[in-house]
Amino acid sequence: MYFKPSIKLTLVLFMLALVFIRLGLWQMERKTQKQALFDQFGNAPVMGLEQAVRSESRFARVEVYGQYDPERHVLLDNKILNGRAGVQVLTPFTRPGGKQLLVNRGWLPLAPDRQTLPEVPTAGGPRTISGILNRLPGDGPRVGEADVLLRDRWPQLVTYFEFNDVEAALGDPLLPWQLQLDPADDSGFEGRQWQAAVMGPEVHGAYALQWFSLALASLIIWIILGVRRARHSQPPAADREAK
């Protein structure tokens, strides 16, 4: 007999293989979801802002007329660009007869001491801007409490974006959306290569391949150890000949 696997080892390796396969299938599901999201981003229509908000058309390309608030900026911390730490600048944009809209104008560097906030040059006066309508910055893993926003101190640095807190600090009603400013608009800063998500579908595909490879490796290890165990359990050749 040339194959004699250990029962305990068989159970352990097969359980590991099942876990790896399940994780691989989960990553394939995530890949499909991300691909749908990226397709939605690439095929998003051009719409009016009000229509896009009513229909909740995420990634719609819109134009908005109004003017920037020149002083009150929300600086969203922990944004890395090309290995440098910085912030994303969210500036209220006042529309005639409508709620304010936060405009994500891109990235600015933040001083290492985190006390000296970057200058946010903002020209006044009415203008038309365009960009991508997207959800506001979402919740991620949190460590510690949210920042306390004050109504009389601007700009303000925040680690976590809390819509209600920002709206209360501004003292004006806000649309629950952000406009990611068009890269060609000269009122923005760096880092405006917008995409549907940070991690693309191909990354999930690579992760899935890794998990499936680990499942295959578990099977190969099971076979190799089973063969070795069978060989070690065989009597020496001289004993077999004597018999």
Paired with 86 in beta bridges are 79, 109
pLDDT in tens, 167-176: 999 998 999 9
Give the per-residue pLDDT at 169. 92
Structural contact between residues 16 and 224, judged by C-beta atoms closer than 8 angstroms? no
Check the CA dihedral 24-29-31-34 and report its sign.
negative
Give the per-residue pLDDT at 144. 53
Give the per-residue pLDDT at 163. 92
Give the per-residue pLDDT at 142. 52
Note the pTM of the prediction, 2 decimals. 0.81
Give the per-residue pLDDT at 150. 81
Give the per-residue pLDDT at 139. 59
The Cα 77–Cα 86 span in angstroms is 6
Intervals of the chain under pLDDT 70 = 1, 3, 139-147, 232-243
- Specify the DSSP class assigned to residue 211: H
Nearest to 171 by CA among 192, 201, 196, 149: 149
Give the per-residue pLDDT at 145. 58
Nearest to 90 by CA among 197, 189, 194: 189
The Cα 154–Cα 71 span in angstroms is 6
Give the per-residue pLDDT at 143. 53
